[in-house]
Structure 1
Amino acid sequence: MNYAEICIIKRDGKKEDFSISKIKNAVTKAFDATGITNEDKLVADITMRVISNFTTPTISVEQIQDLVEKEIMKVQPEVAKKYIIYREWRNTEREKKSQIKQIMDGIVAIDKNDVNLSNANMSSHTPAGQMMTFASEVTKNYTYRYLLPKKFAVAHQLGDIHIHDLDYYPTKTTTCIQYDMDDLFERGFRTKNGSIRTPQSIQSYATLATIIFQTNQNEQHGGQSIPAFDFFMAKGVLKSFRKHLTSLLGFYTSIEGASADEKSIKAIVNEQVSSVKTSEQEKESLRMALTAIGINIEKEVVNKIIEKAYASTRKDTHQAMEGFIHNLNTMHSRGGNQVVFSSINYGTDTSAEGRLVIEELLTTTMEGLGGRGEVPVFPIQIFKIKNGVSYSEEDYQKAMEDFDAAMDGKVKFSTPNFDLFLKACRTTAKALFPNFMFLDTPYNTNELWRADDPKRYKYELATMGCRTRVFENVAGEKSSLGRGNLSFTTINMPRLAIEAHRKAEKLVGTSDKEAFETKEKELFLNSVRSMAELVAEQLYARYEYQRTALARQFPFMMGNDVWKGGGNLDPNQEVGDVLRSGTLGIGFIGGHNAMMALYGEGHGHSEKAWNTLYETIEEMNKVVEEYKAKYNLNYSILATPAEGLSGRFTKMDRKKYGKIAGVTDNDYYVNSFHVDVKEQISIVDKIKCEAPFHAITRGGHITYVELDGEAQKNVKAITKIVKVMHDEGIGYGSINHPVDTCNSCGYKGVVYDKCPVCGSENIMRMRRITGYLTGDLSTWNSSKRAEEKDRVKHH
């Protein structure tokens, strides 16, 4: 055949003359990518063998690439593998070019697709939401092309890994932050348009907390958390109490005709009153101090004034908590009607002021939003369980003896905040929050914690509501305050299991089951290790890029020392080592699906699968320890809170491998180490199965159980479940149950098809998506809706 007459059919249908050099260049690049050089003769031989297979005067580009792949495979399989990966990546790139217009068209038409529903906290159909989605898709494309090192871009685009928040990659933002709110309140802080001084009442404390949340949300791409909400708000309660007491004493003085001014009274009150629960000794000291400046007041009158001041302070605190929750569910922090991804941790402040904050917060949460008492989506609330502070076995048994009396406050407990724990259980039974964090699990303890330390919260773990955990620290003190996650990337674990299974079939066959399973497990663990190493390097590359950000890019976060160390920077300095206290998360998804790919059974009931999954995450932790030592950074394993990702990987793998029972036959992969959502398993067994994984996923984790019926009618059962979590070593847990509201008449309860009162089908179904709630299932993407539909109830 005369090669000069051969015609090449390109992918767009156009024709061009044949060129030997293009085949030779493609083969050479494949060799170079493998590190094999100086093989000109072999490259030339392969090129000629490819051409010798031409049988017609016209041939397509795809046919030529198939021939190239076949001929390289005969002599250099490793080079062929590189060629195949490159070819697949180029196909993906071409598909993206054609897809980008379809994506944009879908945004314009506000289609109900997974691009527009990628974030359940955003209204993508609003103009600002559309702009956010446009920007997100375009910026991701820019990141792939110009910012990501090629090997990481390829791994992401092919679906081996998922680099989270790629649209924010160019901005160099960090993911989340845990506030040292006490420091901000005491020093005051600056926003763009002015300075804020130290607040002087509980209303101001609560309002400024929402302002801090809202302002900083624009400088990060993830969530924000207050680690010790009760401790931080307590000062505001005391200030309000003193203010009311001063005002009432001043009013009484004016009626009695005394000449003392309010300034003098205020000084005495501030000196003599140290708590909203004043002791008899404090009351008498206050009375005597007033007498010394000419205000003669009877003991009974002092008592009544203090009672009135306390009642006014409780009312103020209630209104402050009400405003706090309402603001966090209505104040938009970004385009698309997004409210702040906010979380608050509490439960261990035993002061009268801190306890009052939590009492009123729980009451407000129970009351809900608006006239119909809608369940608030934010903030995600986390109640901290601490032995001897908010929990004890003795008090638990006492409560179980007469639970109704315990809930009514008729039982005296030895643990100071056990009554608040019971109220937290009652609140979560109605409002799905608070979740529960367990401070006495060995990996959540801090040796510096002391019960008599007024700032002991510094040494208590706090978490983001979605599950992200920041505690251990190679760059400083072990604490959650003033730190956050830098970025995280997730491994497609089911794909590695599918590949290991298929390779083992080729290498040893399936006739000897034991030998086969040993081989596939070995291959799987090796591939997980390699992928974890790839992710660790990718996270380091992103960290090095984030370090180059200037402090002035984050005026609130760095300028106000929100991220500890940032306050020492000049605005034009790079943030650099300030970020070393942050965490880098190696995430994973689909542990259950991976075990199904290997063994045909999940880890919920299979000891073999459970052991393999546990060993797999231990192997990932070995990589974490190696990279901690290599770069002296806070690497950790994260049980990824997958929202859009749960469907992305599955669709890609189904296209690549077809439908595999229990692996790719659903629209989603099961989150992290969770038991399959369809698995029939008891509450206790699910908790026991998942608890050990919490200790080896220090970047964050959560275990939930799914209840049927109206949980608020059985608070005792909620309390028992929390105890099981406590006893089994859960780090962070939550309890899901249906919360349905009829939008037509306001009926609340479990609604199956139609409202039992008015017959309406317009029902709002409140469910938990990753760690936070969403007001309506219709805002979820298709994969998470499919997952929610499959969730079985645990008994």
Structure 2
Amino acid sequence: MDTKDISIIKRDGKTEEFSPEKIKKAITKAFMAGGLLNEERLIDGITKRVVKSIEKKLISVEEIQDIVERELMGSNPYIAKKYIIYREWRTVERDKRTSMKRIMDGIVKIEKNDVNLSNANMSSHTPAGQMMTFASEVTKDYACKYLLGVKYSRAHRNGDIHIHDLDYYPTKTTTCVQYDLDDIFERGFHTKNGSIRTPQSIQSYATLATIVFQTNQNEQHGGQSIPAFDFFMAPGVRKTFVKHVATEIEFAVRLNGGKPVDVKKLRKALSPVITSIELCKKAKSAAIKAAQKEGASLSEKEFEAVLAQALENTRIDTHQAMEGLIHNLNTMHSRGGNQVVFSSINYGTDSSPEGRMVIKELLLATSEGLGTGEVPVFPIQIFKVKDGVSYSDSDYEKAINDFEGAMSGKIKFEAPNFDLLLLSCKTTSTSLFPNFLFLDTPFNKHEKWDINDPKRYRYELATMGCRTRVFENMHGEKTSFGRGNLSFTSINMPRLAIESMREAEENCPNADKHALRREAKFLFMRKVRDMSELVAEQLYERYCYQRTARACQFPFMMSNDVWKGGMALSPTDEVGDVINSGTLGIGFIGGHNAMVALFGEGHAHNKEAWDTLYEAIQTMNEVVLSYKRKYNLNFSVLATPAEGLAGRFTRMDRKKYGIIEGVTDREYYVNSFHVDVREPVSIVEKIKLEAPFHAITGGGHITYVELDGEAKKNVRSILKIVKTMKDENIGYGSINHPVDTCKDCGFRGVIYDTCPCCKSENISRMRRITGYLTGSLETWNSSKQAEERDRVKHK
């Protein structure tokens, strides 16, 4: 083979022209190290044999060195040994200068860098956090070198794609899951050290929910979500109410001088007849009779007093249970680095008195905040907006026309939970949560949903708070229950656009602007398709690896049927087809930046750019459809929630292409299909621009709007934004605004330099990063801090 046809793959993944002279120099050094000089003819012969042994046009440095070792061993074993020692020494010296060494040094020194700040909810400077960061960086390196296919490893390393959660790749675990707590609580569940029976009070329901969160978090690398929190907690409210009714009856009997009553027996007798915390006349009569059978006689008036006190006690218990849930999920560390559970809860459509009490007390507890009033970071809360249940147009008009009356409870609404939607808007104005999920958006509807079905929540979409959406299913019921995302990988969309434009300029040197853009767009679409196919194959490779995991690697998730189907496995069984209900996400980042590379401006004001970005994502969906058929798996397009990735791609592209105005000139790429954070568009414009992309990103999406000033002073505007999102078919949305808290006195509001109450400078500045909140902006990496500084406020 002609040496001019051979290319070398260097250790950093780059290629260069093959040079026999470099081989000769390396062999010469080995001879010199062995004390053999003037062996030019022998060295030339070995060099020629090495070159002759190369049988392919693309070969790695390591492969060439293996050939050299083999030829030296056949010629002079002593010199071969010297060469091997020299090669090993060079490897060690090279490792000392590698990025891995620099990364480890940065972790040891607790530097404020993007490795240590890669996760805004982890304290990487604690001993456990350092160990987790060490492990993360080492396992990423291991996965790239030994587990990934060569072309996927190279694409990730070079910045063409980003394989998310690469550090967890060797563990074979999945990303996230949504719990069917109804099933888990009804059966009870077990952990390593024992079993847990069905809870009997709202406090136990809430506590066990946090235990499920914490336990399962250790078996996955992503988030954990409860898809119907209000429905799942409601039985606990009823059980608590029955307990209080029995206790109050016993107290009333003693107060009247009656004989002692067995409270346990009384509870057991009352439970079948008290099916709600709001009793009709018939149920009240049945309850009085049941109490009489247990020796407790009360008049109707006395029983009414018992019910009123029991209801208030139940409300207090429910409020305390919701407080406990919030405090536990912000303090229970389930991972190294003081990292709490990445938790999400969906609610809003249980219109039963018990479900409504759960929602109301949860929202009130959220507004109250943590110990000194701090905004809770977790759980991420998602309010489900549903026609006829939590929303109606007529209710909206009533509220807008008399907002003060609506908020004070003076107006009767036709949708039973519309008042809770108003309370959600108020809570969002102070605490940034809940976000809003729109169940009537066409792609979020389920054909089996029926308002008369007591378990209709099984047919309601729920989401992970960051944005991951799991709903459609090729292997079972369309649902969010008992399944999650398996893995996702993101495409560097700006790079594809940059390279397309450069190729177009080479192909059409004399073309005018319009012809050049047409050629660049054609090349861009082809590259988007090719890269999407590469990612799809990479995701399939990872899926094949994940399915070889043993059930015993995920003892809680599988044996408790948290991931549906896992209970049927024995500990030594491979998870296999059980996980085929999960999703595989082809993500992307930098849609805005890519459009600037092609058209000189983003898609907010350039219709051709908007159409091109939409077409590109549709092209990704065509690949998704093709691979669904090919592998019979749930591929989807994901609007990537980029945190560390937003800066990683940008740094790599700036180094490769230089500074391109509007593309690589900032520290970050704009998330997924989002309008540029600096774009001064109105609230309605931003929602209208982004809404169509929700329908074509079935793996997950979110749209934010940024408000200025203190949103708590204008709850009406939040309700208007929610309606606009609903009307424009947003799938999942949220509302951002500044929330600052004085750490000394607890004042919460917009704080500029010092607290207006106590003049303290000790201020926590809460902001949303990708879908979740963080304790302080200081914990964000440099790229996301830069993005936050650039965010304009929408009017």
> 1:328 & 1:5 partners in 2: Cα distance?
63
1:30 counterpart (49, 57, 61): 57
Which residue is 2:565 aligned to? Answer: 565
Q: How does 1:704-719 map to 2 (within 5 A)?
A: 704-719=704-719
Partner of 2:271: 270
Q: How far apart in 1 are the matches of 2:134 and 2:181?
A: 35
| 2:762 counterpart letter in structure 1 | N
Shift in Å at residue 263 of structure 1? 4.3
Report whether the alignment pairs 1:748 with 2:748. Answer: yes
Q: Which residue of 2 aligns with 1:207?
A: 207
Structure 2: any 5+ residue segments left out of the alignment?
1-18, 33-42, 61-90
Aligned to 2:8: none
Deviation at 1:96, TM superposition (A): 9.7
AA partner of residue 170 (structure 1): P
For residues 640-695 of structure 1, what are the alpha-carbon distances to aligned partners after superposition, in whole Å with 9 as ceiling and x for unaligned?
00000000000000000000000000000000000001111000000000000000
Equivalent residue number for residue 605 of structure 1: 605
Alpha-carbon separation, structure 2, partners of 1:514 and 1:22: 55
Per the alignment, do residues 101 and 14 of structure 1 end up closer, same or farther by CA in structure 2, a change over 3 Å counting? farther
Once residues 96 and 634 of structure 1 are traced to their aligned partners in structure 2, the CA distance between those partners, rounded to angstroms, is 43
Equivalent residue, structure 1, for 2:166: 166
Give the partner amino acid of 2:481: L
Work out the CA distance in 1 between the residues paired with 2:106 and 2:773.
26
Q: Which residue of 1 aligns with 2:498?
A: 498
Distance 1:414 1:510, change over 3 A: farther
Q: 1:701 and 1:289, CA in 2 relative to 1: closer, same or farther beyond 3 A?
A: same
1:339 corresponds in structure 2 to 340
The question of whether the paired residues in 1 share the 8 Å contact of 2:373 and 2:748 is answered with no
SS at match of 1:584: strand
What does residue 305 of structure 1 align with?
A: 306
Q: Is the contact made by 2:270 and 2:291 (CA closer than 8 Å) also made in structure 1? A: no
Contact 2:343/2:378 (8 A) holds in 1: yes
In the alignment, the residues of structure 2 paired with residue 786 and residue 630 of structure 1 have an alpha-carbon distance, to the nearest angstrom, of 41
* Residue-by-residue CA offset, 1:251-274 (whole Å, 9 max, x unaligned): 223444246533442233112211
Structure 2 equivalent of residue 531 of structure 1: 531
SS at match of 2:593: helix
Deviation at residue 409 of structure 1 after TM alignment: 0.7
* AA matched with 2:246: T
Report the alpha carbon displacement of residue 516 of structure 1 after superposing the two structures with TM: 1.4
Q: Is the 8 A contact 1:143 1:167 kept in 2?
A: yes
Q: Is the 8 A contact 1:237 1:353 kept in 2?
A: yes
Change in Cα spacing, 1:403 to 1:647, as seen in structure 2 (3 Å) is same
Partners of 1:107 and 1:129 in 2: CA distance = 10
* Alignment check: 8 A CA contact 2:20 2:47 kept: no
- The Cα shift of 1:308 comes to 0.6
Residue number in structure 1 paired with 2:230: 230
Classify 1:8/1:466 alpha carbon distance in 2 versus 1 (closer, same or farther; 3 Å): same
Unpaired stretches in structure 1, ≥5 consecutive residues? 34-90
Contact 2:599-2:609 at 8 Å conserved across structures: yes
**How far apart, CA to CA, are the structure 2 residues paired with 1:510 and 1:314?**
75
> CA–CA distance in 2 between the matches of 1:26 and 1:530?
34
Matches of 1:22 and 1:653 in 2, distance apart? 40
Q: Which whole-Å CA distance do the structure 2 matches of 1:440 and 1:312 have between them?
A: 36
Give the structure 2 partner of residue 785 of structure 1. Answer: 785
Distance 1:217 1:15, change over 3 A: farther
Q: Give matches, 1:651-730, under 5 Å.
A: 651-730=651-730
User: Partner residue of 1:637?
Assistant: 637
Determine what percentage of the aligned residue pairs are the same residue: 67
For 2:667 and 2:747, how far apart are their aligned partners in 1? Answer: 32
Amino acid at match of 1:321: M
Q: Partner of 1:129 in structure 2? A: 129
Alignment of 1:317 onto 2:318: yes
Secondary structure of the structure 1 residue equivalent to 2:558: coil
Deviations along 1:92-133, one digit per CA (max 9) or x if unpaired, are x97896111111111000000001000111000000000000
1:515 Cα deviation (Å)?
A: 1.9
For residues 15 and 620 of structure 1, the distance between their equivalents in structure 2, rounded to whole angstroms, comes to 55
What is the rounded CA distance, in whole Å, between the counterparts of 2:21 and 2:489 in structure 1? 50
1:8/1:15 contact within 8 Å kept = no
Q: CA RMSD in A?
A: 2.2
Q: CA deviation at 1:363?
A: 0.3
AA partner of residue 498 (structure 2): I
Question: Residue 738 of structure 2 corresponds to which residue in structure 1?
Answer: 738
Give the secondary-structure state (helix, strand or coil) at the position aligned to 1:671: coil
Cα separation, partners in 2 of 1:5 and 1:546, compared to 1, 3 Å: closer
1:9–1:15 Cα contact (<8 Å) kept: no
Letter in 2 for 1:29: K
Indicate the SS of the match to 1:290.
helix
Q: CA deviation at 1:6?
A: 9.2
Structure 1 residue 246: Cα displacement: 1.1
Residue in 1 that maps onto 2:354: 353
Q: Which runs of 4+ in 1 moved over 4 A?
A: 3-10, 13-28, 93-97
In structure 2, relative to structure 1, the CA distance for the partners of 1:742 and 1:447 (3 Å cut) is same
Partner of 2:774: 774
- State the partner residue of 2:80: none
Cα deviation 1:165-213 (Å, max 9, x = unaligned): 0100000000000000011101000001000000000000000000000
TM-aligned CA distance change 1:249 to 1:107, over 3 Å: same
Contact 2:95/2:101 (CA < 8 Å) preserved in 1?
no
Partner of 1:282: 283
Paired residue secondary structure (1:169): helix
Paired AA for residue 670 in structure 1: V
SS at match of 1:473: coil
Distance 1:5 1:281 in 2: 98
CA distance in 2, matches of 1:558, 1:789: 43
CA contact 1:604–1:610 (8 Å) conserved in 2? yes
Partner SS state of residue 381, structure 1? strand
Partner-residue secondary structure (3-state), 1:195: strand
| Cα distance per residue 1:433-453 (max 9 Å; x no partner) | 000000001100000111011
SS at match of 1:557: helix
Instruction: Count the aligned residue pairs.
Output: 733
Q: Does 1:471 align with 2:498?
A: no
Distance in structure 1 (CA, Å) of the matches to 2:730 and 2:661: 31
1:125 and 1:687, CA in 2 relative to 1: closer, same or farther beyond 3 A? same
- 1:301-328, Cα deviation, whole Å (9 max, x unpaired): 0000010110100000000000000000
What secondary structure sits across from 2:272 in the alignment?
A: helix
Tell me the equivalent position of 1:117: 117
Partner Cα separation in structure 2 for residue 458 and residue 655 of structure 1: 49
1:369-402 CA distance string (max 9 Å, x none): 00x2000000000000000000000100010110
Name the SS for the 1:387 alignment partner: coil
Paired AA for residue 250 in structure 2: G
Which residue number in structure 1 is paired with residue 616 of structure 2?
A: 616
The secondary structure found in structure 2 opposite 1:626 is helix
Q: Secondary structure at the match of 2:556?
A: coil
Contact persistence 1:7–1:15 (CA under 8 A): no
Summarize the Cα distance change of 1:669–1:476 in structure 2 as closer, same or farther, 3 Å threshold. same
Secondary structure at 2:704's aligned position in 1? Answer: strand
Match of 2:482 in 1: 482
CA distance, structure 2, for counterparts of residue 353 and residue 111 of structure 1: 50
Distance 1:115 1:6 in 2: 36
Aligned to 1:508: 508
Farther off after superposition, 747-756 or 372-381: 747-756
Counterpart residue number, 1:175: 175
Residue identity in the other structure for 1:368: G
Q: Which residue of 2 aligns with 1:428?
A: 428
In the TM superposition, what is the alpha-carbon distance from 1:762 to its structure 2 partner?
2.5
CA distance in 2, matches of 1:4, 1:612: 47
Say which is worse superposed, 524-533 or 506-515, in terms of deviation.
506-515
TM-score by length of 1: 0.89
Alpha-carbon shift at residue 286 of structure 1 (Å): 1.8
Q: SS of the counterpart of 1:726?
A: helix
- CA shift, 1:512, in A, is 2.3
- CA offsets, 1:555-602, max 9 Å, x none? 000010000000000000000000000000000000000000000010
The Cα of 1:749 is off from its aligned counterpart by: 1.7
Is the CA contact 2:705–2:734 (under 8 Å) kept in the aligned structure 1?
yes
Provide the rounded CA distance (Å) in 2 between the counterparts of 1:508 and 1:726. 45
Which digits, 9 at most, give the CA deviation of each residue in 1:242-300, with x for residues without a partner? 01111111222344424653344223311221100112222122223434555432110
Change (3 A) 1:9 1:742: farther
CA shift, 1:31, in A, is 5.5
Distance 2:631 2:52 in 1: 38
2: CA distance between counterparts of 1:334 and 1:737? Answer: 29
The residue type equivalent to 1:381 in the other structure is Q
Deviations 1:747-767 (A, max 9, x none): 322122333344433221100
